[in-house]
Amino acid sequence: MSKKLINHPDDCVDEALEGLVMTHLGLRILGSQRVVIHESGRAPNGKIAVVAGGGGGHEPYAAGFVGQGLLTAAVVGQVFSSPPAGSILAAIRAARSSENDGVLLIVINYTGDRLNFGLALERARMEDIRVKMIICDDDCALSSPFKAVGRRGLAGSLFLMKTAGALAERGDPLDSIAHVIEEMKQSIGTIGASLTSCSVPGGEVMFRLEDDEVELGLGIHGEAGVKRIQMTTASKIIEEMLDRMTDSDSSSFFALPSGCSVALIVNNLGGLSIMEIIPGSEGNPLLRRAFDDFIGNERSPIVRSSCGRRLEELVVNFTGCTNVRSIMAPSTLS
């Protein structure tokens, strides 16, 4: 059994949410639900609410992104399990403005999440609540065209949440925001590389890698990637990742035209040290510099970048990159 600094596997999600609201003023838990919402509750009149969520174990996603200009509420399930439709519906009811300006759901593409968020959406519409749902499916690793569920949702959802939250804060209407986010997600691509496996509280590791192996293209629940490669330098691993993303023979091919503007997230899913992912000479992150070697200098300028823990996988040495081609006005990038 893997080691975790917890009290009991059945309580770890609830205790993590309690700790989150204790250490972040302005957040509260919605009654007995695993829903984190701003203490002010509803979105102000004239503004839509933005709600996201998924299984526990991915912190800070999504509860850690509740706040002004981001999410109005976040729904959390048990570790690696979708939250129940009843909790999602409770979040929708609590987050919507009193004038029913609308609620936008942002959901990463996994079967359980799609089913439960979809059921909650239908139930909310039966109560005359205006709701739309966006599915984030940004994985560029798997190339099979026969998967009915489509591409997996990964860290690209962070861009969608931030953009939707900013547009909601500005007062844009629901239909307009949903249209922008649907367009934006077409220009998001994500791929990851893992040095070790992950494990859930109370369980064993989900897969095993040899000391000289790297898993390329795994999912956020420890799902298998597209292949295993030999351990090598960070620069060579990133080159392999980008070659896979931009392979035109793959059905999940991510087009990166020369001259387009790129926003980059280097997402640590829990296992990398700060030394590996953040510091570099002259204040530039180490991995950002490696990406610059293969994107910024040869193809497209990186105009925004962020490194850190955004969406975790319970102790995985994981380096995930998310490239977003700019299709929006320069004012939106700012």
Which residues neighbour 34 within 8 Å (Cβ) at sequence distance 6 or greater?
A: 13, 14, 17, 56, 75, 76, 77, 83, 87
Q: Which of 161, 85, 97, 165 shows the shortest CA–CA distance to 126?
A: 85
Q: Which amino acid is at 190?
A: T
- Considering the candidates 8, 24, 58, 221, report the single residue annotated as catalytic: 221
**Residues 313 and 225 sit within 8 Å (Cβ to Cβ):** no
184 vs 246: CA distance, rounded Å: 18
211 vs 292: CA distance, rounded Å: 28
Beta bridge partners of 306: 265
Residue 8 a catalytic site member: no
* Separation in Å, CA 74 to CA 54, 124, 128, 168, 330: 8, 16, 21, 16, 29
Which residues neighbour 286 within 8 Å (Cβ) at sequence distance 6 or greater?
A: 234, 276, 277, 278, 279, 280
272 vs 274: CA distance, rounded Å: 7
81 vs 69: CA distance, rounded Å: 27
Task: Report the DSSP pairing between strands 213-216 and 227-230.
Answer: antiparallel
Coil, strand or helix at 182: helix
Which residue stretches of the chain are H helix?
12-23, 85-95, 111-126, 157-170, 174-185, 234-245, 274-277, 286-291, 330-333
With vertex at residue 14, the alpha carbon angle to CA 12 and CA 17, rounded to the nearest 5 degrees, is 105
**Residues 54 and 219 sit within 8 Å (Cβ to Cβ):** no
The secondary structure of residue 231, as a DSSP letter, is -
Residues designated catalytic:
221
